[in-house]
Amino acid sequence: MKDVEDIPALMQRMGAAARAAAAELAFAPAEAKRRALEAAAAAVVARAGEILAANARDLDFAREKGLAAAMLDRLALDEARVAGIAAGLRAVAAQDDPVGQVMATWDMPSGLHIRRVRTPLGVVGVIYESRPNVTADAGALCLKAGNAVILRGGSESLHSSSAIHACMVEGLRVAGLPETAIQLVPTRDRAMVAEMLRAVEFIDVIVPRGGKGLVGLVQAEARVPVFAHLEGICHTYVDRAADLEKARRVILNAKTRRTGICGALECLLVDRAFFEDHGAPFIRDLVAAGVEVRAEGQLQAVPGTVPAKPEDFGHEFLDMICAARLVDGVGGAIEHIRRYGSQHTDAIITEDDAAAARFFAELDSAILMRNASTQFADGGEFGMGAEIGIATGKLHARGPVGAEQLTSFKYLVEGDGSIRA
């Protein structure tokens, strides 16, 4: 791919093309967007061989660079993964179109009839790492919401992403939509990332998809607003009034179902009185399942635990490891989570409505749960369809960010020659 072009000029060219496409997409019929995604899915199926060949080139390059095994796994495609990409495109195609939805409607005594309707955001920039499927997933969600998108994938996945991107462009062409609605940055030059983060004229919001290093860099450097979460330091608090069986079931799932996702439990808080009465069989379950439980104080009495260090609290392990601590009631849990949490997802296990209500009121995580596994923190599990990520900021989008959260709104006001007194 060309690494020769002047990067600011490339940003100008891609940015202007995205703005022009966004102006058309804003009122593109829902049916055209649906057709583009169906056609892209068909193209992915038809060109699976090309996509896998491109992926093989990326994998060769990545092995030469000495990439870690986990990274290689994220990068690697096979027939099943390619089929998954096509299925994901069809799922987004089948979702409701958010654009034009009437969010509210009311009449004023002045005679004005007011509607608040959903509109696209404009241009989204997506910066991601090695997973080539993000090219299709993020491109599809942005298109569904009527946004143009500029995709900047990891340099090690450039061939794979380009092959998938070509399918997306074919979908746009088939549907008669502007081909620059979904653009892929065609260079590995990292200067383009810095350029995108400053491109307030061309990009309305940046979505980083990747590890803490990438997200932290984006949050620190971006002049464009960012939808993201830096970490998912998810807590589960076992209250004095917890049902023991629910606690055991939920905690084992929250920690071990998948350890690498942002909704995985990272810290277990146990009410002191509960522990004195019932012990902590859920910690024994974790130990038996192979989890390294880093316990503090009295909890170290549970066989198989190891002593916690101070830095284990507020840490995102993304592994078969968790921290554990006794706290004094729901107040103690709230205090701990305020200090160490990341405002992603935190849960309480309790049968006491008052304790749950206090936990829900006094914490401000994007998602708060009662008697449920934090692994449910996912757009699909919320009924939102596919998501582009989970946000922990306070502005605009929070929690799972699906097509609906990638929209803005405008007011449509109708009068009858109405004038203001």
Shortest spacing between CB 53 and its own copies, in angstroms: 35
Report the interface residues with its own copies, using CB under 8 A.
23, 26-27, 100, 106, 108, 110, 112, 114, 119, 121-122, 204-205, 225, 243, 245-246, 249-250, 252-254, 257, 338, 356, 360-362, 364-373, 375-376, 381-383, 394-396, 398-399, 408-420
Q: What is the DSSP secondary-structure string of 138-194?
A: HHHHHHHTT-EEEEE--GGGHHHHHHHHHHHHHHHHHTT--GGGEEE-----THHHH
Shortest spacing between CB 147 and its own copies, in angstroms: 10
Residue where the block lists tokens 């840490």:
315
Shortest spacing between CB 358 and its own copies, in angstroms: 9
Exposure class string for 168-203: b at 16+ Cβ within 10 A, else e: bbbbbebbebbebbbbbbbbebeebbebbbebeebb
Q: How big is the CA angle at 388 (ends 387 and 389), to the nearest 5 degrees?
A: 90
**Which of 78/364 has CB closer to its own copies?**
364
Return the SS3 of 196. Answer: helix
Residue type, 315: H
Q: Copy the structure tokens of residue 103.
A: 């969010």
β-pairing verdict for 345-349 and 234-238: parallel
Phi/psi of residue 292, nearest 5 degrees:
-85, 105
Distances (CA, A) of 84 to 34, 77, 179, 364: 18, 10, 24, 35
